[in-house]
Structure 1
Amino acid sequence: MALSNADVQKQIKHMMAFIEQEANEKAEEIDAKAEEEFNIEKGRLVQTQRLKIMEYYEKKEKQIEQQKKIQMSNLMNQARLKVLKARDDMIKDLLNEAQQRLANIAKDPTQYPTLLEGLVLQGFYQLLEPKVTIRCRKEDVALVQAAVKKNIPIYKGAVKSNIEVRIDENNFLSPNISGGVEVYNADGKIKVSNTLESRLDLIAQQMMPEIRVNLFGTNPNRKFMD
């Protein structure tokens, strides 16, 4: 039986409605899928950027911490150098004061001649040469002559050997020397420096550890004691 025009139109509308419904459902499905994929990608991008930001600030924090350590180390080294310089300056002042006192001793007629005798005799013993030359300050020539005269018998009795002594009156010690003598062998190649300054330097070197302990206390970082 042939369908009427009205029936055909009705079926066409029904089919169009079905197709439209399917299209809408498909579109909704596509939209939902797209929204899901968008959210997933958005979440991935956010997480990636978050990790990058965290990594960046962690790196910055480590750099700042390292810079702080370097700066602290530099400050500690600077402070340590300042302390060491202050200590060295104090020791220099102490030695300068000792040298000034030596100069005063050289001016003391009750102490200096005896001291000079000991320095001359010690020079003889250190060289143990048959001929020696003594160099002294110009103003000490007479005192050195007296010291030589007194010490030659003492030296001969101790070492059982003669000694010939010459005082060099052409070359005197520097005006900066407070006192004492320099004793040379015959050819002048061997010298014993028994000036007050050289004796002070020797004693200072020998006593420096003790001086530092007395001034600054025991070093806590020192493992071994002499």
Structure 2
Amino acid sequence: MALSDADVQKQIKHMMAFIEQEANEKAEEIDAKAEEEFNIEKGRLVQTQRLKIMEYYEKKEKQIEQQKKIQMSNLMNQARLKVLKARDDLIADLLNESRQRLGKIAKDPAKYASLLEGLVLQGFYQLLENNVTVRCRKQDLVVVKAAVQKNIPIYKASVKKDLDVRIDQENFLPAEISGGVEIYNADQKIKVSNTLESRLDLLAQQMMPEIRVALFGANQNRKFMD
């Protein structure tokens, strides 16, 4: 039986409605899937960027911490150097004060004469030469001559050697030094400096560890004292 135009139109509309519904459902499905994929991708990107930001700030934090350590180390080194300089300055001041006090020794004739005798004889023993030259301050010439004459027989008896001593009366030691003598071998290439200043410097060098301990206490970081 043939369909009327109205039935045909009705079926066409029905088919169009079905197709449109299918299309809408498909579109909704595509939209939902796209939304899901979008959210997944957005979450991935957010997580990736969050990790990058965390890594960036962790790196910055480490750099800042490292800079703090370097700065602290520099400050501690500067402070340590200032302490060491202050200690060295104090020791230098003490040595300068000691040098100034040396001048008082020569003001006691008896003690100074005895000291010169010891310095002259020590110089003889250090050189162990047959011919020596003694140099002194001009104002000490008389007392040095006496010290030389007294020590020549002592030296000869001790080392069983002759000794000829010349006292240099042309080239005296500077008047501003505190006293003492210099003794040379025959060609004056070897010198024993027994001035009061040189003896003080030698004593200070030998006793510097004890001086530092007495002034500043023992160094806890030092394992060996020699």
Q: Tell me the TM-score normalized by structure 2.
A: 0.97
Unaligned runs of at least 5 residues, structure 2:
none
* Aligned counterparts of 2:30 and 2:175: Cα–Cα separation in 1: 108
* Aligned counterparts of 1:200 and 1:36: Cα–Cα separation in 2: 93
After the TM superposition, which segments of 4 or more aligned residues of structure 1 sit over 3 Å from their partners? none
* Aligned counterparts of 1:153 and 1:118: Cα–Cα separation in 2: 14
* Aligned counterparts of 2:193 and 2:215: Cα–Cα separation in 1: 29
Given residue 27 of structure 2, which amino acid in structure 1 is its aligned partner? A
The aligned residue for residue 109 of structure 1 is 109
* Aligned counterparts of 2:206 and 2:195: Cα–Cα separation in 1: 17
1:225 Cα deviation (Å)? 3.1
The aligned residue for residue 149 of structure 1 is 149
The aligned residue for residue 17 of structure 1 is 17
* Aligned counterparts of 1:182 and 1:176: Cα–Cα separation in 2: 15
The aligned residue for residue 131 of structure 1 is 131
**Preserved contact between residue 117 and residue 151 of structure 2 (Cα < 8 Å):** yes
* Aligned counterparts of 1:225 and 1:99: Cα–Cα separation in 2: 27
User: Which stretch has the larger CA shift, 148-157 or 78-87?
Assistant: 148-157
Q: Secondary structure at the match of 1:110?
A: helix
1:26 Cα deviation (Å)? 0.6
User: Which stretch has the larger CA shift, 122-131 or 157-166?
Assistant: 157-166
Given residue 148 of structure 2, which amino acid in structure 1 is its aligned partner? V
Unaligned runs of at least 5 residues, structure 1:
none
The aligned residue for residue 172 of structure 1 is 172
Q: What are the superposed Cα offsets for residues 31-90 of structure 1, whole Å, 9 maximum, x if unpaired?
A: 001100110111011001100100000000000000000001101111111111111111
1:159 Cα deviation (Å)? 1.8
1:176 Cα deviation (Å)? 4.2
Aligned residue pair count = 226
Q: What are the superposed Cα offsets for residues 136-174 of structure 1, whole Å, 9 maximum, x if unpaired?
A: 111111111111111112212222222111111111113
* Aligned counterparts of 1:159 and 1:126: Cα–Cα separation in 2: 12
Q: What are the superposed Cα offsets for residues 71-125 of structure 1, whole Å, 9 maximum, x if unpaired?
A: 0110111111111111111111111111111121123223211111110111111
Percent of aligned positions with the same letter in both sequences? 84
User: Which stretch has the larger CA shift, 146-155 or 24-33?
Assistant: 146-155
* Aligned counterparts of 1:201 and 1:9: Cα–Cα separation in 2: 128
Following superposition of structure 1 onto structure 2, how do residues 1-226 of structure 1 map, counting pairs within 5 Å? 1-226=1-226
1:175 Cα deviation (Å)? 3.8
Given residue 213 of structure 1, which amino acid in structure 2 is its aligned partner? V
How well do the aligned residues superpose, as a CA RMSD in angstroms?
Answer: 1.1
Q: What are the superposed Cα offsets for residues 196-216 of structure 1, whole Å, 9 maximum, x if unpaired?
A: 111111111111111111111
User: Which stretch has the larger CA shift, 79-88 or 106-115?
Assistant: 106-115
Given residue 16 of structure 1, which amino acid in structure 2 is its aligned partner? M
Given residue 39 of structure 1, which amino acid in structure 2 is its aligned partner? N
Q: What are the superposed Cα offsets for residues 4-43 of structure 1, whole Å, 9 maximum, x if unpaired?
A: 0110110011001001100100110110011001101110
Q: Secondary structure at the match of 2:135?
A: strand
